[in-house]
Structure 1
Amino acid sequence: MNPRWISAAAGLFPLTARAADGPAVLGIPVDFILFAATLLGVALFHHHTLRVALTGLIVISLYKIGFTGFHEGTGLAGWLAHMQHEWVVLSNLLGLLLGFALLARQFEDSGVPHALPRFLPDGWKGAFVLLVMVFVLSSFLDNIAAALIGGTVAAHVFRRRVHIGYLAAIVAASNAGGAGSVVGDTTTTMMWIDGVNPLSVLPAYVAAASALLIFGLIAARQQQAYQPIVLTERGGPVDWVRVGIVAWILLAAIATNVTVNTRFPEVSDAFPFLGAAVWVAILLAVPLRKPEWSLLPDALKGSVFLLSLVVCASMMPVEKLPDASWQTAFGLGFISSVFDNIPLTALALAQGGYDWGVLAYAVGFGGSMIWFGSSAGVALSNLFPEARSVGAWLKAGWHVALGYVIGFFFMLAVVGWHPHMPHKDMTAVPPAAAVAPAH
């Protein structure tokens, strides 16, 4: 999940207010070349990802300020207006990443992960069942929380020897689980708020479930060969107060998500309600059990890394997508592994003509193919720093890309491609609304 709130109906990236066209090399805008260089640097220098991301952010910002400008204006004033346009997105994401890092430790200290081995099957089946649990949790929880809970349990049942391929599978399961639910992922919530029928994204589970079978079974076998599940550990008693705190924080996030974006969508982009709700819940629970505040510095580094990439992606000139088709949706899945899926979803909503179930699966699951392709992957890498290698992720987690492809075409074969007519008449939007920032 990349929590950016929300509606593309008013023109998240306004088509009538383009920034000036900048220089291009072989027809490719320099903006994209700089962003690609940043992503390449992250892939090659995975021990210095934060420095690379911040350097890329500074270079791209200076280039945009000096040459092309922004949708919101030109020069430094345009950059400041753009950042004002993005502050709710960034604040929500920062609040979730830091808050759920503390939540994961509360869950770990509750003793539940120590007790789970007695309920999981032995062998590779236990590893697969854990992925299914993450998939189900993510259908109604934030996918960051689902991935962190899954990672926390995995650290215990596999004695902290978790295969990178299995870490990739945990992220994939968390993203796949939210693909067919309008409360399971930010992209599907965007569709819901924008007027797409919640039932229209439900068929995404046909693809997501079949993908889970592919990458889940392979990853479970990987993990079994690397470090079998340990079923002899019984641990101490469960701290039900900490369990209650975890439930309280998650319920606060769910309730805020549903309430703000269904009953008060007109103000959903004015304040980081979701991130604030998580932190209010954390602070209210402090008298019961003190959080592990020492986790925040490392979690902050990982969060700043992801936020840097999100800001870089938001400055790219992606005003127009190819015509809506299943081929375009298929390609968007791969693009979302390196490019923020929120603006892609926003543009697709403004464009219309997609099968929303197919699109929900593609943009929701696609980010799993690279560790920084989704916020769930970045959050999990805070628990397992060894995952911060694009090469290792692609080599060990190859089954995630395989699952994406098989799931996509299985869905086309079973459900088919049923493009929806644009669910809103964009020509009826008043000109002032059509160019107003929607964040």
Structure 2
Amino acid sequence: MELVIILVFVVGYLAITLEHTLKIDKLIPALVMMAICWAAIALGLDSFTQWFDSGQHALLETFGGLAHEEKLHLMEETLLHHLGKTAEILVFLLGAMTIVEIIDYFDGFSTIKSFVKTKSKRKILWVFSFLAFILSAIIDNLTATIVLISILQKIVKDRDVRMWYAGLIIIAANAGGAWSPIGDVTTTMLWIGKKVTTGHLIGYLLAPSFLCMFVPSLIASFMPAFKGDLESSDEDEEKSKSKYGARMLYLGLAGIVSVPIFKSVTHLPPYVGMMLALGVVAVFAEVYTSSKFSISDIETEDNDTHGHHSPVHESLSKIELPSILFFLGILMAVAALESLGILFDLASSLKGTMPRLGTELGEEGVSDLVILLLGVGSAVIDNVPLVAASLGMFSEPMDNELWHFIAYSAGTGGSMLIIGSAAGVVAMGMEKIDFFWYLKKISWLALVGFLVGSAAFMVTRTLF
């Protein structure tokens, strides 16, 4: 039965990887894979000889000798445990996504356009690279990419030039998301899974992630595509749809940034702080929306509202529910492999079998080469299941350098192919970027940044 479960997982994984070829949304194979894996476990429960207790993080080799009722009870407890851990991530993401949509409801992101006051292509490259690096650490790399490319489309009219900027934005956004606990889904998974803390994550990864963004941008700034000035546009500056846009932008970003602080002070799970931040932002959104209405006249020039309904309701309706369901499916499917001890056995076989490239961790240390290959692999296949698998494979303690290297590799490695990260996929859709164009023009820059950042990590980890 174990072979059947592994086969189902592999087939489902391939379907997720070949999403664009099969024309099937990746959430579908993720959900089917999750349901079949757990159904197979339930049907073949008596045939399994070992079980991985996730709560104790220990392998129960006496599982085969337990009675059927005891096995069934243990399976239900394990399933509930994994569902709870997965729900923490999903609720956290729902809160963050809703805050971002509320900001967008008030057209708050148009405020960022005011930062760009130059026509120099090179200077604009640096402005967008730094904005992507910082913004992605706050509102996540996917949203930062969408926001910045939307702004880019209003500033740069030449699509050929814009594709170059989009490529560097992808690299910078993925690099920025790696050093923040709220900057990338995979980093958030490690943070909520109590594998990394905010302070150590920033300490370990800020410099490597910065170099991963800075070096490609520096090289690109000397390339022909970024020489000269942009053509002047005669179009009038677009007015913000809401006079509260800037205020909601700063309030929303402050709310998201406050979540790690809330966690460190209260020691409560991050989703609690995110719900508090959402509640505060939602209060201001409702107040500002209500203040726009006049009993006698609701269509005045000063009335810059989107309608009579709640901004929170509209923001919730725009949430990417397919992404949430995909995370549910893939995380619970990986949990099935973890529960059977398959990932634990795989991790044991990896430890000590490949030479380390940096500081020794001892005989039980995991090869740096394995983590580097994980980063390269995240460019080909989705980094969420890769990191989810690593959570079940390795048992290193919180803030071990292994977890930070995984966060860096999985977060930035996806930049090497345009389909390797959510930021790349959304940029591909927004700008119709060709896979092979990106491969020839941008991939080598992403690879250089990834390797420079990896080398920097091997130095910074010796400081902690």
**Same structural fold, with TM-score higher than 0.5 when normalized by the shorter chain:** yes
Aligned residue runs from structure 1 range 67-146, under 5 A: 67=44, 71=53, 78-107=78-107, 111-112=110-111, 115=114, 119-123=117-121, 125-127=123-125, 129-139=127-137, 142-146=140-144
Aligned residue runs from structure 1 range 240-259, under 5 A: 240-259=243-262
CA distance in 1 between counterparts of 2:432 and 2:334 reads: 20
Q: How many residues align?
A: 386
1:361 aligns to 2:408 (yes or no): yes
Provide the residue aligned with 1:332 in structure 2. 374
Q: Are the counterparts in 2 of residues 253 and 274 from structure 1 also a CA contact under 8 Å? A: yes
Provide the residue aligned with 1:7 in structure 2. none
Greater relative contact order, per chain length (Cα 8 Å cut-off, separation 6+): 1
Provide the residue aligned with 1:40 in structure 2. 17
Provide the residue aligned with 2:207 in structure 1. 203
CA distance in 2 between counterparts of 1:66 and 1:215 reads: 56
SS at match of 2:287: coil
Provide the residue aligned with 1:428 in structure 2. none
State the 1:98 CA deviation. Answer: 4.0
CA distance in 1 between counterparts of 2:419 and 2:315 reads: 20
CA distance in 1 between counterparts of 2:30 and 2:231 reads: 36
Where does structure 1 lack aligned partners over 5 or more consecutive residues?
1-20, 424-439
Aligned residue runs from structure 1 range 184-195, under 5 A: 184=183, 186=187, 189=191, 192-193=196-197
Q: Which amino acid aligns with 1:176?
A: A
Where does structure 2 lack aligned partners over 5 or more consecutive residues?
46-50, 55-70, 290-304, 306-310, 352-365
CA distance in 1 between counterparts of 2:10 and 2:377 reads: 15
Q: Which amino acid aligns with 2:266?
A: F
SS at match of 2:286: coil
Provide the residue aligned with 1:175 in structure 2. 174
Aligned residue runs from structure 1 range 410-421, under 5 A: 410-411=452-453, 416=458
Q: Are the counterparts in 1 of residues 258 and 277 from structure 2 also a CA contact under 8 Å? A: no
SS at match of 2:178: coil
Q: Are the counterparts in 2 of residues 166 and 219 from structure 1 also a CA contact under 8 Å? A: no
CA distance in 2 between counterparts of 1:347 and 1:195 reads: 23
Q: Are the counterparts in 2 of residues 200 and 357 from structure 1 also a CA contact under 8 Å? A: yes
Q: Are the counterparts in 2 of residues 179 and 361 from structure 1 also a CA contact under 8 Å? A: yes
CA 1:419 to 1:198, structure 2 compared with 1: closer, same or farther past 3 Å?
closer
Q: Are the counterparts in 1 of residues 418 and 435 from structure 2 also a CA contact under 8 Å? A: yes
CA distance in 2 between counterparts of 1:395 and 1:62 reads: 43
Q: Are the counterparts in 1 of residues 98 and 278 from structure 2 also a CA contact under 8 Å? A: no
CA 1:204 to 1:35, structure 2 compared with 1: closer, same or farther past 3 Å?
farther
What whole-Å deviation, never above 9, does each CA across 1:144-193 have from its counterpart, x for those lacking one? 44334323312422469696675454343222024345675535856552
SS at match of 1:350: coil
Q: Which amino acid aligns with 2:213?
A: A
Q: Are the counterparts in 1 of residues 405 and 457 from structure 2 also a CA contact under 8 Å? A: no
Q: Which amino acid aligns with 1:410?
A: V
Provide the residue aligned with 1:435 in structure 2. none
State the 1:248 CA deviation. Answer: 0.6
Q: Are the counterparts in 2 of residues 175 and 365 from structure 1 also a CA contact under 8 Å? A: yes
Q: Which amino acid aligns with 1:136?
A: I
